[in-house]
A and B are shown apart, each in its own frame.
Chain A
């Protein structure tokens, strides 16, 4: 990865391939600036990359604004670590950690 990162085009290819793999597995990656939403630090911003949540929760999450391209910010975690409050489309939404794990985000740069 270290070597590849110097070449934007190749880097994009790798990311694309990984995106395909994750989409098939329905799981989020942790690499570079890509991570599951649940790992976003309090106060940092990110852009949603992919949503792997299924059926009803998937729909609900999308309605609330969690879909590729929207900007999210992690506001705070509950003392127990779940749920976590995110700011998305100007509203504070609390999601459980298990659900946030299934949303992949890219750090805001």
Chain B
């Protein structure tokens, strides 16, 4: 899960098809033990990894071969047990029962083996062939933890392979031990079935089962662990600052500010340079195409080319900086800390801290954020998170905000970063307010509980990080934007060029919306741009510029008679209006309820309209 090819792309609407070639191996394990890392190491794929629990919410499959034998690997979502009924656990459970893989590889974290063995024991009960991958051995070594592998193997009765999937250590041994394990009849049950030994009510039985395996697992693990397990690790020392009562929130705001500041500073010049390059290229193209007839050349150059290049110039630089920074925070393990700090605020508003995680993902792409809401257990809170997700600016709207801020509120990096941060925090505040409103009116219900694992800080793998953030996220999201921009540019050109009675279609739409736009402190053209930009919010600024018939950058809006008040209203509307069509579709797909989907559109829009009216009233008072 996360902002990946599959969660933001065409595959968004497809259900994964499980290829049936070779022997199927299922990867299971507690959340955040490195299943996806192992999956990538074995299959050479780039399944999204990140240092927070609950990131894989769908099955991912990949193939690999070893010694002439083909294997299909299935990456299941992380689960603590097979007893509970949370969605990801049901996915894992159903897969184990229905697809019946030939072998289950249970991935364990060597640094917290005492917890991880519970799942191993549960899987051993349900499946005859199990192999244990003891991952993160390098971290365990660094923390001074020793694991007696042969003893563990003997006590469990299944093969145990020590490895570090991040560095690739232990992969060969794992591959070599696959074949013998597959040939064997399976392990002997060393545990009595707890179902047979316990009598009582269903509730009591469930509660008993949940702790039974953990207790047994802990017993086994304690016998195999050696070394100094009580030593304070580097991550724990870092936590004293990152999660301190006073330093923690300061760190959080500082990190947010730094991310935005670096993005703005880094994006300004490349954006201008790109635009200049594209302009020159456009002139060259114009010369090259002089011989072609007008009705081909004009739509291509003024429509498709102009819109596409504007989208690229505005989007590429901020994304190429923001995504690696965000991925860095994600891989490092900072995101769950954000959830920790914000949980109380969300609890007061009838929601939970995991919503902060989905909002962080919304910063990248709202569709991915909506999909990420699966990590929230309670359906009521999940719906709230889905509805309010679009109130966080995605990367399609970020560039518009940045350009407007730079054009109207000073282009000094730190200053504009502060304004951008203020806007983001406004988004957060409105999200909280609307969550509270929703949980008191339409989505009433009990507040649920919140139990989240805070993973240790891990050193991000830089090479993979750069690859993933750049190729997987930046180029992909850009590619999608360009794919939408090209046809949209053509339609837009038609809208501006076809002008019966001298008034173009776009002007007609703008004029029609003018009274409404005036009422909101902007103009009809802005509303028309938002309306036509529904397929992709990246298009809003280019459409706006085209509708007003001014130059290439937001600075030219000054020439169109815009004041800072107009810009402020436009920015508020940019932050709060209906989400893009992909997000709306994803919201419907995730909730399967039209009412929730309608609310996803209505809630941000109403918020934006209300805020704009308020601003206008305020301006009128000032004038």
Using a CB–CB cutoff of 8 Å, the interface residues on chain A facing chain B are 51, 53-65, 67, 69-70, 75-83, 85, 89-96, 98-99
Contacts and interface: CB of A to CB of B under 8 A. Distances in A.
B83 A59 contact: yes
Interface stretch (B157-165, B208-216, B530-538, B554-562): B208-216
Contacts of B215: 67, 69
A80 B84 CA distance: 30
A56 B453 CA distance: 17
A59 B208 CA distance: 8
A92 B246 CA distance: 20
A75 B246 CA distance: 15
A76 B243 contact: yes
Chain A, interface SS category: mixed
B150 interface: no
Which 5 pairs across A and B sit closest by C-beta, in order of nearness? A80-B344, A67-B211, A90-B112, A62-B210, A57-B449
A75 B248 CA distance: 14
Given A78-B343, A85-B340, A93 B210 contact: no
Contact of A90 (B229, B343, B449): B229
Interface residues of B, number: 47
Contacts of A80: 344-345
Interface string B331-367: 0000010011101110100000100000000000000
Given A67-B211, A79-B341, A94 B450 contact: yes
Contacts of A62: 207, 210-211, 214
A105 to B, nearest CB: 15
Interface in B227-256: 229, 239, 243-246, 248-249
Interface of B: 80-81, 83-86, 111-115, 118, 203, 206-207, 210-211, 214-215, 218, 229, 239, 243-246, 248-249, 336, 339-341, 343-345, 347, 353, 377, 448-456
B451 A99 contact: yes
Contacts of B343: 78, 82-83, 94, 96
Contacts of B214: 62-63, 65, 67, 89
B210 A85 contact: no
A65 B115 contact: yes
A52 to B, nearest CB: 11
Contacts of A77: 245
A77 to B, nearest CB: 7
B452 A93 contact: yes
Contacts of A81: 344
A63 B86 CA distance: 12
A32 to B, nearest CB: 25
Contacts of A99: 449-451
A94 B451 contact: yes
B344 A83 contact: yes
Contact of B114 (A58, A67, A90): A90
A64 B448 CA distance: 17
A78 B80 contact: no
Nearest to B229: A90
A56 B449 CA distance: 9
B161 to A, nearest CB: 21
Nearest to A54: B203
B450 A95 contact: yes
Nearest to B240: A76
A96 B449 contact: yes
B112 A91 contact: yes
A83 B353 contact: yes
5 contacts: A56-B449, A64-B80, A78-B245, A78-B343, A99-B449
B92 to A, nearest CB: 13
B207 A58 contact: yes
Given A89-B115, A91-B115, A94-B353, 13 more contacts: A57-B449, A59-B83, A59-B84, A62-B214, A76-B239, A76-B245, A78-B340, A78-B344, A79-B245, A92-B239, A93-B454, A95-B450, A96-B347
A53 B207 CA distance: 10
Nearest to A84: B340
Nearest to B210: A62
Contacts of B80: 60, 63-64
Contacts of A78: 245, 340-341, 343-344
Contacts of A64: 80, 115, 451, 453
